[in-house]
Amino acid sequence: MSSIRNIVVLTGAGVSAESGIATFRGPGGLWEGHRFEDVCTPQALTADPVLVHRFYDLRRAALGEVEPNAAHLALARLDRAWPGELLIVTQNVDDLHERAGARRLLHMHGELTSALCAACGVRRAWHAALPPGTQCDACGAAALRPDIVFFGEMPYAMERIEATLAEADLFVSIGTSGAVYPAAGFVQLAGAYGADTLELNLERSAGSGFFAETRLGPAGELVPDWVE
Ligand code: BV8
């Protein structure tokens, strides 16, 4: 990594799989019989807030039963040691990157451990169950919702992500199927700006053809090997 100074890492559900968090499109990629795409939309939140809030309450509660794995820990070591620019953009809503010690980190699809007020936009740390109609302590509206980017909603910090990709010398994608945009398009953006591109994934993904190099295997092995 001699001439490389600025690195962007994109992670997906595959980086948390070895911690025991189910991926979305693996075997049994359904939740209580619902397609993931059907419980992760503003329409679903309006139509059945109890179902959607419960989907996130269960996943938030499960965070206490899992630990960061070797991939999270290796990325945190890279974060501490890397002298150049580094940004870990995660599609995941779990808190395992933080708990492993990563700091230069951004959740583009929100976080389980945060609640968002649909009325005033204030967000706050949230670790317990979040019943529909919970009151916002900033504006008083009974409008707290999971702080999650649903399908059809704009991911967070897109301008910052795109500006960082434009300056990247290396773009590394870890544990994602390349099924969801705009995240799935980052490799093409980074490549167009001249970055080198590397994919670390258990199997070939929808985006594999866009990477200069793809290494196949579990993140818990590939990521420490790459970081070292
Ligand atoms: C947007 C948060 C525009 C929630 C997620 C029609 C209508 C509406 C929208 C669209 C449409 N057509 C297209 C779109 C755009 C849409 C989209 O891309 N849809 C897809 C289905 C076609 N995207 C959006 O809607 C996005 N917003 O476009 O906004 C806009 C513009 C202006 C103004 C307003 C709006 C927002 C999408 C965000 C949705 N939220 N997550 C939650 O987590 O509950 S998406 C969710 O799925 C993830 O966050 C991630 O982004 C995505 C993909 O999941 P992965 O992380 O890749 O996981 P997956 O299971 O798929 O794959 C795991 C991979 O890991 C596999 O490859 C596997 O091989 C590998 N693996 C497994 N084990 C391991 C491993 N690898 C290594 N080691 C292992 N051990």
Question: Which tens digits make up the pLDDT trace of 140-184?
Answer: 999 999 999 999 999 999 999 999 999 999 999 999 999 999 999
Residue 2 has pLDDT above 70, yes or no: no
Q: Where are the beta strands (DSSP E) in the chain?
A: 7-11, 30-31, 34-35, 86-90, 105-107, 110-117, 123-125, 144-148, 170-174, 196-201, 213-216
The CATH number assigned to the domain with range 1-21+67-109+155-228 reads 3.40.50.1220
What is the identity of the amino acid at 106? Answer: L
What residues are designated binding site for substrate?
56, 59
- pTM (predicted TM-score): 0.96
**What 3-state DSSP class applies to 164?**
helix
Average the pLDDT over 51-75 and give the result: 96
Average the pLDDT over 37-52 and give the result: 93
The residue ranges of every structural domain in the chain are 1-21+67-109+155-228, 22-65+110-148
> Active-site residue 109, yes or no?
yes
CATH 1.20.1440.230 assigned to domain 22-65+110-148? The reply is no
Q: pLDDT at position 97, please?
A: 98
pLDDT band at 26 (very low <50, low <70, confident <90, very high): low
Q: Is the CB of 146 under 6 A from ligand 1?
A: no
- For residue 121, the CA-to-ligand 1 centroid distance in Å is 23
